[in-house]
Amino acid sequence: MPARTRTPLPCLVPLLLVCTALLALVAYLLGGSPTARAGDERTVTATGDAVGEAPPIACVVIDAGHGGEDGGASSAAGVLEKDLNLSVAFALRDLFEAAGVPVVMTRTEDKLLYDRNLDFQGRKKVLDLAARRLVAEKVAAEVADGGGVCLFISIHMNAFPQPRYSGMQVWYGAAHPLSAEVAGRIQSAAVAIMPDNHRKIKAAGSNIYLLDRIQTPAVLVECGFLSNPEEAERLSQEGYRYAVAAAVFAGVIAVYRTDKPQLR
């Protein structure tokens, strides 16, 4: 009988992480899928066709929106967007790093990124966004010589005056052709935990500063509506936030597949 060959443990890590992501999604399906009520502007998700041979991911920049004195949206119970964004970002970082993909986070603390040594009065948000853009552009420049790309993922929560709206929605930057593909795959993966979510991916305009200016593949994920009481309650649960991160990770993996040498 021929001897069995052992698969090196590092080669199993991406597969194990994909399995972990899928198990997180399945766990929510078996435990009772969250119901996402539809607004009349919702349409079909995903882009459909893949975009040929994707260049390798050299690094992922994960941007947890808001922070510090900018709490972002808030739920009726007082849950702040900035805290949920950072929690999802950390979970997403752990998934990518365990799969062997280097990660840079724009923030790891509860603060905005403006330079305190500058005259920031009335300019905190502008300076903060400029600092986040600088992080993304610096990383992209560092990895460009190796032939890979830097993928930018910004994590946010949504809100609307009417509480009936819910569900994840993904925006994409128009500067790079892979942005729409990544957005569509993430939107499709989210259906596992939000089966009634039929939101359509949308191209970012100039009003979404980072996606409008970053030249590498870039998406912004609105993970759910804090203005919807049921969805806000789910988002306040650590397990659900991990499932959201797993859906984002699984969507990226669907583009940069683990059975080809694109994910490194």
- The mean pLDDT values, 10 residues at a time, for the chain of 264 residues are 38 46 48 31 33 72 97 97 98 94 96 90 93 96 84 97 96 95 95 91 96 96 98 97 96 69 42
**Helices then strands (H, E): number in the chain?**
7, 6
* pLDDT value of position 211: 97
Gap between the Cα atoms of 70 and 213, Å rounded: 22
Q: In total, how many domains does the chain have?
A: 1
Gap between the Cα atoms of 244 and 101, Å rounded: 19
Gap between the Cα atoms of 145 and 160, Å rounded: 43
* pLDDT value of position 20: 54
Angle at 77 between CA 74 and CA 83, to 5 degrees: 45
Whether the predicted model's global pTM rises above the 0.85 cut: no
Gap between the Cα atoms of 166 and 158, Å rounded: 8
223: nearest Cα among 207, 199, 253? 199
Examine residue 262 and state whether it is found in any structural domain, yes or no: no
* pLDDT value of position 21: 54
Examine residue 155 and state whether it is found in any structural domain, yes or no: yes
Examine residue 1 and state whether it is found in any structural domain, yes or no: no
Examine residue 6 and state whether it is found in any structural domain, yes or no: no
Q: If DSSP states are collapsed to H, E and C, what string results for 143-192?
A: HHCCCCEEEEEEEEEECCCCCCCCCCEEEECCCCCHHHHHHHHHHHHHCC
Check which CATH number belongs to the domain holding 159 and give it.
3.40.630.40
* pLDDT value of position 23: 55
Examine residue 147 and state whether it is found in any structural domain, yes or no: yes
Examine residue 25 and state whether it is found in any structural domain, yes or no: yes
Helix (H) or strand (E) holding 138: helix 124-144
Residue range(s) defining the domain that contains residue 182: 11-255
254: nearest Cα among 51, 9, 93, 98? 51
Examine residue 43 and state whether it is found in any structural domain, yes or no: yes
Examine residue 4 and state whether it is found in any structural domain, yes or no: no
